[in-house]
Amino acid sequence: MKNPEAITLYSQKQLVSSVENTITSQLNPYLSDKKLDSYQIPNLKNIIEESKVNLKIKTIKTDESGKETQTSAEFASTIGTIFTFLIYMFIFVYGAMVMQGVMEEKTNRIVEVIVSSVKPFDLMMGKLIGIGLVGMTQFGIWMAVFLSVSLSGVFMSSSFGFFQVINGLFSTVNMIEICFYFVLFFVGGYLMYASLFAAIGAMVNSQEDTQQYMMPITILILFAIYAGIFSAQNPDGPLAFWTSMIPLTSPIVMMVRVPFGVPWWQMLISVALLATTVILIVMLAAKIYRVGILMYGKKPTYSEIIKWLRY
């Protein structure tokens, strides 16, 4: 009790941290009680327990007209993180589906027959739009199931209190606005990255050859998801602001900021930059796709890809 560091644990092997945590978690409250007893003050432990205050802050957001709306920082952060993970997952999963589909058509030589009657650009855009609509349909089904379960639960008397709490939490954020921007940034992010995935699928002949070209894109997407996670703690900080402006990361990071409210000018700049970048990347990816879809043999080098862009 006088020297908390006067304890040593000897072991013949390296211990895991859980062992040390288990020992300290059991000894700390025991020694604390002993130290309180040593003061010989009646009911000292009860006095200390009663003096503790559990402060709960009620947060209210006001707009320019003075209208007050109750908010919840924890719920807004949770909603933003969920939608961020959804965009991250959809971009990765459906982008990989686009790449896999392009590779299968190329290796099976089906594309040679298709491009005889369809332009390569139309073929690529058809694949992007088709698989993208699959992703939006899946998201729509999830939302429909969630809403149906929530509405049906309201009429269950035993669960009424629980769903009343859930309804109260959802009223603290603008779900219509969040879903609107989710669709907007999902479409932009999906078209941007799926175009790159389609270009990679057109350049290579096997799944193993994709690793070289996938690594930079994978690192960029992982950086975006980690930036989004950290930005949830400070949605107006420098990291959140700049990564939500940069088109390569904005589709993922911006969804963390939307539940907290984003100034209209920041949203306008982010959407404009994203739309411009999407157009440029789709055009560049289409050039690579047009040449690479009919190229067989060794995988191209970066200098050869630059030549394709100049054709």
Task: Give me the residue spans of the domains in the chain.
Answer: 61-310
The pLDDT-based confidence of 261 (bands split at 50, 70, 90) is: confident
- Asked if pLDDT for residue 22 goes beyond 50, the answer is yes
Q: Is the pTM of this model over 0.85?
A: no
Per-residue pLDDT at 254: 94
Measured between alpha carbons, how far is 132 from 124 in angstroms, rounded to an integer? 12
138-148 pLDDT tens trace: 888 887 887 67
Per-residue pLDDT at 108: 82
Question: To 5 degrees, how large is the angle CA 140–CA 146–CA 147?
Answer: 90
Give the Cβ contact number of residue 83 at 10 Å.
Answer: 23
- Asked if pLDDT for residue 69 goes beyond 50, the answer is yes
Contact 98, 197 (CB under 8 A): yes
Distance of CA 274 to the CA centre of its chain: 17
Provide the terminal-to-terminal Cα distance of the chain, rounded to the nearest Å.
79
Average pLDDT of the chain to the nearest whole number = 84
- Asked if pLDDT for residue 294 goes beyond 60, the answer is yes
Ramachandran category for residue 122: left, alpha or beta (phi over 0 → left; psi -120 to 50 → alpha): alpha
Per-residue pLDDT at 169: 62
- Asked if pLDDT for residue 73 goes beyond 90, the answer is no
The pLDDT-based confidence of 212 (bands split at 50, 70, 90) is: confident
Contacts of the segment 38-45: beta carbons below 8 A, 24+ positions apart: 38/1
- In one-letter notation, the amino acid at residue 15 is L
Mean pLDDT on 229-233 = 88
The pLDDT-based confidence of 170 (bands split at 50, 70, 90) is: low
Per-residue pLDDT at 41: 85
